[in-house]
Every structure is written in structure tokens, then in C-alpha cells.
Amino acid sequence: MTSSEAVAEGTSHTQTVRARSVRGYIVFAFAIALVLMLAYLMRDILMLLYVSALFAVVLTPVTGGIMRLRIRSWHPGRGLAIFILLLSVAAAAALFFAFAMPPVLRDVQSLIAELPKRGPELLDRLHRFPLASHFNFAGLNTKLQGFVSNFAEYIFLSISGWAGKVADVGAVVFLTIYFMLEGDEAYHWLLSFFPQPARDRLDKTLLRADARMGKWLLGQGGLMLILGLCSLIVFTLLKVRYAYALAVLMGALNIIPIVGAMVSMALVLLASAIDSWEKVLGVTIFYAIYAQVETSFLTPRIMKSSVDLSALGVLIALLMGSKLAGVVGAMIAVPTAVLVSVLIQEYLIKGNQIEDPGALENHPASHSR
């Protein structure tokens, strides 16, 4: 073979390799685009999976504590620990409704019984009000009837939407239980896609994140307890109806950002309005002050001590989570921020730093000191 033929053959081989590389890059780009498109189309399902996996991680310390309970040489397994956790939650809810609902039902029944008598008295008081002459009560009555009709229609049309939300909640509960039971197998299956050195590093990183994320529930429980106790003290001093039940409800619903506070405060204001407007004003002032204290002082500091995030990081995470995914985003904002901070610290800040001390001594930079 002459030199010219060898050069031509080498050039042809190089062109073939380049053509294959270009085709490979094109196929890879199309594959990435396809994956992104599928992820966008399945974003709701992916969100359910992520939320369920996150809840499983957060609840793992609770089930671990139950599994450490011992009666002589016996201790519950993981499945039994999860069952005990679910049974405890159901028992607490049943106990709450058993004590909270009877007085509410009695008051509703008495209100319905006295409505024919108190209704005309209330209208008579409204007519005697100094500015009553400026109001059109007949028109107000018509508007109220229209509002009730439109509201009933809205409730009827939104039944399917609420049914979908209930189905999503059921799916999250089911998937959370599944991840708590079989999460280790799914976790190691995902790790198997990475080469061994990268797999070990990612495993250690995720375990660190898991340890910090598991403490989020402890911090959130502290916030719920503080709000419940403060509400109990204020409601008792103001002599609000159902003070104990409403205080428990305020603390329990505090785990749901924004919506939990709106629902619980609506019930508190309704119970206060039955007696006097002074009580309504009192509970409104109390919660306005507490909301500011919790947002600017309690939440940043408690979350920093539990999950080791800065106050600014917690506030930014809550704002971003609520903006991106509403209530669900706000609920998972802090644990997600913990996961992101651990990954950033490991892969962006530390980067490819050498962890072996012997390798560090043999590194060229160490000899130049």
C-alpha cells in the first residue's frame, strides 16, 4: 500500500468516525428532547411520585422509632410499624371528632330550632340601624338568593374537581406506604444506573440529605405545637366557643401552608361571630401578630436548628414552592431545599476535590507549597 493510499484510507476512516459522532449527537439530542417532552406530559404523575417519596423519607424516622420499641425480645417490623403509625393517626382523628363534634352539633340544632324566632328579630335590628335607610334590603335579599343559587351551581360543577383531588390524596398515601415498604429496592435500583465511583459518592450524598430531611418533621411539629398552645391560651382567655377543639385544629392544619391557616381561621372567626364582634376582633389581632412572628422569627430559626438551613433560605424556599406548585409546593419546599443544598454543596462547591489524604500529599500542588 502506497503512502497516498494510506493517507486516503486514514482520511476516510476519520470522516466515518466524525459522521458516526455527529449522528450519535443528533440521536442523543432527540432522546433528550423526547425525555423532556414525556416528563412535561407526565408532570402531574411525576409530582405525585416525588411528593410520595419525599413524605416517605420524612416519615422514615418515625417508623424507625416505632421499630426500635421492644417488648422483651420482640420488636415490630417495618410493615407493622407503618400500620401502627397509620392506626395512631386514624385514632387521633377519631378521638378529636368524638370530642369536638357533639357540642357543635348541639349548637347547630339549637340555632336551627331558634331561627324562626330570631330571624325576624335580627331583621328588625337591621332596620333600626342608624344607616339602614341607605340600604336596599329587598335588593340585598335578591342578591343573596342569586349568590346562593350560583354557589350551589359552583359546588355541583366542582364535584369532579374535588373528586380528582381526593383521588390524588389517596394516591399519595398509597405511594408513600409503598415507598416506605419497598423504597430501599427502588433506591438501589436507581443507583445501579451510575458507575461505581459515582454511585458511592451519590449514595453518601443522598444519605446525608436523608438524615437532614428526616428532621424537618420534628421542626414542623414544633411549629404546630407552638401555634396550638398559643391558640388555646388566647381562645380560652377570650372565651371562644369550642376553644380546645379549635386550638387543636389550628395546630394540626398548620402543616398545610396558607390553606390550613385560611380554613382554621375561618372556623375560628365563625365560632367567635356567634357570640360577639369583640371576640372576632380579638382572634383576628392575635393571628395577625402570630403570623408575623412565625414567618419572620419562629419558622426560620426552628427550621435552621432542625434542617440546618439559613433563615433566608427557608423563606426563599417557601416562596418559591408556593409560587411553583401552590399548597403542595409550599409543603415540600423546605425538604426539597435541603436536598438541593446538599447536592449543590457536594457537586458544585466541593466539585472534584480529592478526598484521599494520601492522594492529596502526592498531588503536584502540594509539592509547590
Q: What is the percent of the chain with per-residue pLDDT over 70, rounded to a whole number?
A: 74
Residue 233 has pLDDT above 90, yes or no: yes
Of the pLDDT bands very low, low, confident and very high (cuts 50, 70, 90), residue 130 is: low
CA atoms within 13 A on the CB side of 285: 8
Question: What gap in Å lies between CA 312 and CA 174, rounded to an integer?
Answer: 34
Residue 183 has pLDDT above 90, yes or no: no
Taking residues 176-191, report their average pLDDT.
85
Residue found under cell 398509597 = 174
Residue 329 has pLDDT above 90, yes or no: no
Question: What gap in Å lies between CA 242 and CA 45, rounded to an integer?
Answer: 40
How does DSSP assign 6-50, residue by residue? HHHHHHHHHHHHHHHHHHHHHHHHHHHHHHHHHHHHTHHHHHHHH
Higher-scoring residue by pLDDT: 207, 304: 207
Which stretches within the chain are classed as H helix?
3-41, 43-67, 78-128, 137-157, 159-191, 196-213, 216-238, 243-252, 259-273, 277-293, 299-307, 311-331, 333-344, 357-361, 364-367
Helix (H/G/I), strand (E/B), else coil: 74: strand
Taking residues 107-115, report their average pLDDT.
72
Whole-model pTM over 0.85? no
The grid cell for 163 is 373528586
Identify whether the C-beta of residue 257 lies closer than 8 Å to the C-beta of residue 328: no
- pLDDT for residue 327: 77
Higher-scoring residue by pLDDT: 316, 237: 237
283-292 pLDDT, tens per residue?
999 999 998 8
Taking residues 314-343, report their average pLDDT.
84
- pLDDT for residue 119: 58
Query: How would you label 77-111 residue by residue, b for 16+ Cβ within 10 Å and e otherwise?
Result: ebeebbebbeeeeeeeeeeeeeebeeeeeeeeeee
